[in-house]
Homo-oligomer: A and B are copies of this chain.
Amino acid sequence: MQDERSTPLRPDAQRNRERILEVALTELTRAADAPLSTIAKKAGVGQGTFYRNFPNREALVLEVYRYEMQQVADTAVQLLRSRTPDQALREWMDRLAQYAMAKAGLADALRKSTGRYGSLAQLGHGPVTRAVTLLLNANEQAGTIRPGLTPDDFVLAIAGLWQIDPHRDWQPRAKRLLDLVMDGLRAGAIRSPGRPEPD
């Protein structure tokens, strides 16, 4: 939304903005509470320039995190082309889990800076919601999940992913959570893909 300005940024200003985002990604991943002044310094800009681009910590973190999440979101379309809807959904969830673990430091920064609800929900209006919508629609039409589920339902259901410590054996915990969620999504579906006949 902010991405389009009336006047395009002066080239040097644009360079500055990009460098800040670049440094912020590495620095915030390393330490969620990295001082903004450090980021400004490493990016080679003054404090004023920093604040011109990002009026507060939250604005910076949101933008960095949003970009990272966009990466996963974009894979949904591709998966829907090469798999059945329910395979695509599950595999996308697995990728999301991997991303969430890789970007856990950032998520931490997000939690700290944003006082609001939905560190994720913020991204809700972004690409993630679009991806989830696509996946849910495809599965609903295929009858592999219960009808009437909303992207919001889904996002809330997988919120536990961001509670998992990426340093300590996260894979089984994530798998168990996602299995549980998948079962929840399937309950009441028209077709039950796992067991066509009760016996």
Given contacts A117-B164, A119-B163, 15 further A-B contacts (CB under 8 A): A108-B115, A111-B111, A111-B112, A112-B115, A118-B163, A118-B165, A121-B165, A149-B180, A152-B176, A155-B160, A156-B161, A156-B164, A157-B157, A157-B180, A160-B160
Residues in B neighbouring A102, C-beta threshold 8 A: none
Residues in B neighbouring A112, C-beta threshold 8 A: 111-112, 115
Residues in B neighbouring A33, C-beta threshold 8 A: 115
Interface string of A1-39 (1 = CB under 8 A from B): 000000000000000000000000000000011000000
Q: Is the CB of B163 within 8 A of A159?
A: yes
Q: Is the CB of B156 within 8 A of A163?
A: yes
Chain A residues touching B, majority SS: helix
Residue in chain B with minimal CB distance to A176? B153
Q: Is the CB of B157 within 8 A of A177?
A: yes
How many residues of chain A have a CB within 8 Å of chain B?
Answer: 42
**Complex CA distance for A92 and B93, rounded to whole angstroms:** 28
Q: Which residues of A contact B (CB under 8 A)?
A: 32-33, 104, 108, 111-112, 115-121, 149-150, 152-153, 155-166, 173, 176-177, 180-188, 198
Central interface residue in A112, A119, A166, A182, by most chain B CB within 10 Å: A112
Contact of A184 among B150, B161, B163, B187 (CB under 8 A): B187
Q: Is the CB of A163 within 8 A of B111?
A: no
Residues in B neighbouring A161, C-beta threshold 8 A: 156
Task: Please list 6 pairs of residues, one from A and one from B, whose beta carbons are closer than 8 Å in the complex, sorted by A's number.
Answer: A33-B115, A117-B163, A152-B173, A156-B164, A180-B185, A180-B187
- If A184-B180, A184-B183, A186-B187 touch, whether A160 touches B156 (CB-CB below 8 Å) is yes
**Complex CA distance for A149 and B173, rounded to whole angstroms:** 11
